[in-house]
Structure 1
Amino acid sequence: MNIRNIAIIAHVDHGKTTLVDQLLKLSGTLEDREQINERAMDSNALERERGITILAKNTAINYKDYRINIMDTPGHADFGGEVERIMNMVDGVLLVVDAYEGTMPQTRFVLKKALAAKVKPIVVINKVDRPVTRIDEVMDEVLELFMELGADDDQLEFPTIYTSALQGTSSLDPDISTQVPNMDCLFDMIIKEIPEPLVDVDGPLQFQPALLDYNDYVGRIGIGRIQRGKIHVNESVTCVRADGSHTQFRIQKLYGFIGLHRIEIEEASAGDIVAIAGLADIGVGETVCTTGQEEALPLLHVDEPTIQMVFGTNTSPFAGQDGKFVTARQIEERLFKETNRDVSLKIERIQNKEEWIVSGRGELHLSILIENMRREGYELQVSKPKAIMKEIDGVICEPYEEVTIEAPDDCIGAVIESLGYRRGVLETMDSRDGQTRVVYTIPSRGLFGFMTNFLTMTKGYGIISHSFIDYRPMEGETVGKRNLGVLISIDSGQTTAYSLGSVEDRGVMFVGPGVDVYEGMIVGEHSRDNDLTVNVTKGKQMTNTRSSSKDSTVVLKRPRQFNLESCLDYINEDELVEVTPENIRLRKRYLTENERRQQYRKNNA
């Protein structure tokens, strides 16, 4: 069967996964009785809730006499490592661009990786059915981006197709009236423009896993393209490791892909994308070869993590009340198990402490891990994210990012002021249709805590995206520190409306009445820049005398609600987020007033 291997790449929310849905539906790959859900490739519960793709996934479609292997990739910068690694598995990419938004930071990032890998691009202008589109301008932006990124003459001659993935229509003409209700012209373009894999089926085996999966029954699974030769179940093969050593093992399971299913197969040939099981610690970029004819492929480059957090066992007075997995051994096992799937994640144990340094590609990357652990029944506490510094030529350097923000004209002033305070440098500014788009270069640590205020500043209408650029010399010690102090509970117990009513004037509360609190837990935000201890568990004193004014009902303001990301954004260096299956709480690192005073003296000695 003729094979085509392609990846779908784009900025977040430009329609990659919806496009794959339509390709699956309209190719006839699925049986009639199979129902396809919206965004079927996003199988993870968090992916469905958030409407984003977190893990790169592959599927295969049969069209006419062709088998088209399709890789659906994440659009968020935090998961860009997935995009980089699959470029050696494919021969072409579909670059999906929104017909209104045009090229965005992640469009640049993913296209740069594709052009560097010398794969053939097809540009898909999606969402042409939107009420407002800028198709001609967007095409100019795409061409400009190709030229900026140093595309060669062949890559600059990219074919273009216009689609509405949501409606399942496509056309070779930008005029929306020419859209037809199928994806045939896209399928035909893939077959015509994307080259067939140039492979040697009869040579000795070469297979390189670019993605990892994990299964409790067969262990770690390596997913990649067979670069040369054939592979069979029960075949004895050799893995050339990253350090050059050789490990012999047997192929226990061999999987192929069709539609939404991973199916067991007996053999596969060069050019096809398969998954193998049999080596418990197979790694990304290692080469599986025929025994006695070992020839390693170049190792795959994986970008280093840029931020880190400290995970620890829960040490609060409420530890163990909600979770099933609370011990250091259980948390450590779960963290190292995650590295079986996610090669962008690095775990390092802190000596003599029940804590681990967890490094990843961004706040979203690590918060997804924490949220998954929370749902599985784990209890833990985590620190504020920190940018990972590097020493380059004797100079301390920090990661910088490109940030693109689109917000209503009347809100952009507050955004510009806030980014300036966080050491952001304005690169470009463009205004149209009541919306202003600004592009900034900013240190990664300048973005910590920004999202909490961003939605408030833009009244919920702002769109923000950011992408790692490079490491640059560090400037200044603190960036974007929270201006206001917090209200800290001085006692343990249950909050009362009476005590909350008397504390409300001091700031904004995070808890309502009837909530269990402990000493050192953060219960609100102070209206000034210093921390304040308050009693929120005090009850009303009973007396013999009745008074009409004293019996009046206390009316409280609604407490501020936090999700996990906003908690990580909010806390300072001396604070932690306590995460349990039922609750997310903010707390001080040192719970008692006395401990905090001692630590303050120690730090300022």
Structure 2
Amino acid sequence: MQNIRNIAIIAHVDHGKTTLVDKIMLAGKLFRDNQSTAEFTLDNNDLERERGITILSKNVSINYKGTKINVIDTPGHADFGGEVERVLNMADGCLLLVDAFEGPMPQTRFVLQKAIQMGLKPIVVINKVDKPNCRPDEVYEMVFDLMFSLDATEEQLDFPVVYGSAKQGWMSTDWKTQTEDITPLLDAIVEYIPAPEILEGTPQMLITSLDYSKYVGRIAIGRLHRGELKENMDVSLCKRDGSIVKTRIKEINTFEGLGRTKVSNVQCGDICALIGIEGFEIGDSIADLENPEPLPTIDIDEPTMSMMFTINDSPFFGKEGKFVTSRHIHDRLVRELDKNLALRVELTENADSWIVYGRGILHLSVLIETMRREGYELQVGQPKVIIKEVDGVKHEPIEQLTINLPDETASKIIDLVTRRRGELTAMTSKKDRTYLEFKIPSRGIIGLSNLALTLSAGEAVIAHRFLDFEPWKGDIEKRSNGSIIASESGNAYAYALDKLQDRGRFFVEPQTDIYMGQIVGESNKEGDLVVNLTKSKKLTNVRASGTDDKAKLAPAIIFSLEDALEYIKSDEYVEVTPSSIRLRKIYLDENDRKRMTKK
């Protein structure tokens, strides 16, 4: 039997998790030293690198002094809660990685809470002690208080601590003495994380993750709980609904380094990938052929938001994207369901549109952004929260919102959040910064981060996580300013933009192609304003000294995808193509819009 340790890494966004895993890989001598410095190996998807967040969990493993350490990277963001739960199912212990200045953050709490409920043994790693303003001892106390408030057991509270800097590549048991490498951390993993229990008997494995390959189809990944599995072995697939299907394992892979290696059999406690199993879902079990005993399935968090996806039918349809038809988009959404657990897709009566349910705006916008980069064109409607009926009462999702910001802007932010039906539950002040905690409906969070950043001059650090469904909190005031809408298709002239500047702020630069019904700006007043931006200056022979001034334009406001989704109203779409993001009215013709308003 191999000596194995299965460990999950828990950390808040940007606390150095991926860097640490890279250094662990280096310690396993997987890379030649000259390559390792510049490459981020785990976040290998462009989006993950740009945003600095982990979206999909990944498995890597190293051999250290005869022990195989399987490291499982978990997403830190609460929107990817579906990923987190499954990942923790494969681990026997966890590394809690905390920034030596910021301390534990709300999303760390989200994953840690799940880990403690599952009884995992934590090792705390206090990272970035090379920062000038770090406070490792205070952070240690904060971690202890957090674990205590999450009802950790005596054994879990007696956690070992390792200090260091993943970036500089060293770890130590005392933060004042710098060491040469990260072996103190690896020693701690081998010493404190329990090895998986060896359970004799018929095989049992819970499928907690999946991969897809165009050659062999879907691959089931999970940790073998009991017994052993062999190549070409006949097994039972026990489904969530209680039905049992007979199937055969064609090939078994285990994780080595960043890749997988083919093996003839796998023993309990190791994480493996099975090829050849058809029609499985996450949460199904692989069990013995003769007398199958399934493992308890995983509960996956319910979606809290929905969005309408539809084909792009604007006048610029098909100019920039490769995949534009409803068949393309439908096939892509169905493929996404294979991997993305917390996602649901529902067909509407109209064959060209779908309602997509997800865990939050970030979860859905990552999907849209990925599709856009693959060459898809589509339009999406305003995000809506999911409403449930409980005993005849309307319930809506409620989130915990935490904002950390400078003292002087706290009053403005409290006013902003309470107007969106938020309740202030905690407020503490430390070193000129205030830490606020609210309970707020998910509806209130849509569009909040932009306003909060504006009010706090970009200083606010905002995080939120889903709590529960609670009775409807009442109406929330939305953006009151109307939109400025183009009345003609053509090229936007600087002359026209200049003459209309006192009416509002514009989203388009001069010389941009626009179409009738496109939203080109935000009006200063309520109610929509229809303008003609394609009007050029009429040239005559008469010259007057005062009229020939140059056009002086304020810079256009450029939206990111999330900003656009948070900005639009219910009668508007965001048009997403590989090279642009445009806002438009659902009905492009002004007469159609008037008719629909009357209805």
TM-score tier after normalising by the smaller chain length: over 0.9
Structure 2: distance between partners of 1:76 and 1:89: 19
Q: Are the counterparts in 1 of residues 3 and 68 from structure 2 also a CA contact under 8 Å? A: yes
Q: Distance in 1 between matches of 2:264 and 2:453?
A: 53
Worse-superposed segment, 480-489 or 451-460: 451-460
Matched with 2:327 is 329
Q: Secondary structure at the match of 1:599?
A: helix
> What root-mean-square deviation, in Å, do the aligned CA atoms of Structure 1 and Structure 2 show?
1.6
Q: Does 1:554 align with 2:554?
A: no
Q: CA deviation at 1:37?
A: 4.1
Equivalent position amino acid for 2:169 in 1: G
5+ residue gaps, structure 2: none
Query: Does the aligned pair in 1 maintain the 2:13–2:52 contact within 8 Å?
Result: no
Counterpart of 1:101?
102
2:434 aligned partner: 436
Which whole-Å deviations, capped at 9, do the CAs of 1:433-464 have from their partners, x for residues lacking one?
33222111111110101122222222222211
Shift of 1:353: 3.7
| Counterpart AA for 2:466 | F
Distance in 1, matches of 2:487 and 2:65, equals 71
3-state secondary structure, aligned to 1:220: strand
Alignment partner of 1:30: what SS?
coil
Matched, 1:391 2:389: yes
In the alignment, which residue of structure 1 is the partner of 2:298?
Answer: 300
The question of whether the paired residues in 2 share the 8 Å contact of 1:18 and 1:38 is answered with no
Rounded to whole Å, the distance in 2 between the matches of 1:142 and 1:111 is 11
Equivalent residues of 2:315, 2:515 under 8 A apart: yes
For 2:22, the equivalent position in structure 1 comes to 21
| Distance in structure 2 (CA, Å) of the matches to 1:136 and 1:425 | 32
Deviation per residue, 1:76-127 (Å, 9 max, x gap): 1111221111222111011112222112211221111011111111111222
Q: Is the 8 A contact 2:252 2:274 kept in 1?
A: yes
* 1:5 corresponds to: 6
Q: 1:581 aligns with which of 571, 578, 581?
A: 578
| TM-superposed deviation, 1:171 | 1.6
Q: For residue 205 of structure 1, what is the amino acid of its counterpart?
A: P
Structure 1: how far apart are the matches of 2:142 and 2:434? 17
| 1:209 and 2:207 matched | yes
Instruction: Measure, in 2, the Cα distance between the counterparts of 1:210 and 1:310.
Output: 29
Deviation for aligned residue 1:549: 4.1
Are 2:276 and 1:278 aligned? yes
1:43-100 CA distances to partner (integer Å, 9 max, x unpaired)?
1110011111111111101100100001011111111221111222111011112222
Counterpart AA for 2:195: E
1:48-447 equivalence runs, <5 A: 48-173=49-174, 176-200=175-199, 202-447=200-445
Higher mean C-alpha deviation, range 39-48 or range 390-399: 390-399
Q: What amino acid is aligned across from residue 312 of structure 2 in structure 1?
A: N
Q: In structure 2, how many angstroms separate the alpha carbons of the residues matched to 1:425 and 1:38?
A: 44
Cα displacement (A) at 1:142: 1.6
Asked if 2 retains the 8 angstrom alpha-carbon contact of 1:104 and 1:404, the reply is no
Aligned match of 1:454? 452
Distance 2:290 2:542 in 1: 96
Q: CA offsets per residue over residues 330-387 of structure 1, 9 Å max, x none?
A: 1011001001111111111112341111111111110000000001111110011111
Contact 1:389/1:397 (CA < 8 Å) preserved in 2? yes
3-state DSSP of counterpart to 2:500: helix
1:475 corresponds to which residue?
473
Deviation at 1:36, TM superposition (A): 5.7
Amino acid at match of 2:487: I
Unaligned segments of structure 1, at least 5 residues: none
Check conservation: 2:103, 2:142, Cα contact below 8 A. Answer: yes
Distance in 2, Cα, partners of 1:233 & 1:500: 69
Equivalent residue of 1:411, what SS?
Answer: helix
SS at match of 1:177: coil
Return the letter of the residue paired with 1:399. Answer: P
Normalising by structure 1, report the TM-score. Answer: 0.96
**For residues 12 and 394 of structure 1, what CA distance do their matches in structure 2 show?**
39
Preserved contact between residue 504 and residue 521 of structure 2 (Cα < 8 Å): yes
Question: Does structure 1 residue 544 correspond to structure 2 residue 544?
Answer: no
Contact 1:451 1:569 (8 Å CA) reproduced: no
Change (3 A) 1:37 1:79: farther
Deviations 1:171-202 (A, max 9, x none): 212xx3212121111111111111110132x5
Contact 2:247 2:278 in 1 (8 A): no
Cα distance in 2 for residues equivalent to 1:547 and 1:353 = 59
**Separation of aligned partners in 2, 1:411 and 1:221:** 51
Tell me, what secondary structure is at the counterpart of 1:178? Answer: coil
Separation of aligned partners in 2, 1:390 and 1:182: 53
Looking at structure 1, the residues matched to 35 and 505 of structure 2 have their Cα atoms a distance apart, in angstroms, of 51
CA distance, structure 2, for counterparts of residue 32 and residue 509 of structure 1: 51
d(CA) in 2 for partners of 1:9, 1:26: 20
Q: CA deviation at 1:393?
A: 3.0
CA displacement 1:256-302 (0-9 Å, x = unmatched)? 21222223333221111111221343211111123223111111111
Which deviates more from structure 2 when the two are superposed, residues 525-534 or residues 20-29?
20-29
Instruction: Give % identity.
Output: 49
SS in 2 for 1:586: strand
CA distance in 1, matches of 2:213, 2:101: 41
Q: Is the 8 A contact 2:26 2:36 kept in 1?
A: no
Q: How many angstroms does 1:391 deviate by?
A: 1.8
- Measured in 2, the distance between the counterparts of 1:71 and 1:408 equals 36
Counterparts of 2:44 and 2:76 in 1: how far apart (Å)? 16
Measured after TM superposition, the shift of residue 309 of structure 1 is: 0.6
CA contact (8 A) 2:18 2:42 kept: yes
Cα distance in structure 1, aligned partners of 2:180 and 2:388 = 52
**2: CA distance, partners of 1:37 / 1:76:** 25
The alpha-carbon deviation at position 38 of structure 1 amounts to 4.2
Query: Partner letter of residue 187 of structure 1?
Result: L
CA distance in 2, matches of 1:199, 1:88: 16
2:532 maps to: 535
CA contact (8 A) 2:107 2:465 kept: yes
What's the CA shift string for 1:363-416, capped at 9, x where partnerless? 111000000000111111001111111122332111111111112233333222
Q: Partners in 1 of 2:374 and 2:595 — Cα distance?
A: 37
Report the Cα distance in structure 2 between the residues aligned to 1:261 and 1:273, rounded to whole angstroms.
13
Q: Which residue of 1 aligns with 2:504?
A: 507
Q: After alignment, is 109-118 or 20-29 more displaced?
A: 20-29
Helix, strand or coil at the partner of 1:204: coil
Structure 2 CA distance for partners of 1:480 and 1:353, relative to 1, 3 Å: farther
Counterparts of 1:280 and 1:46, CA distance in 2: 30
**CA 36–284 in structure 1, closer or farther in 2 if over 3 Å, else same:** farther
**Residues 477-530 of structure 1: per-residue CA shift (max 9 Å, x gap):** 3x2511211101111111111111111110100001111111111000101122
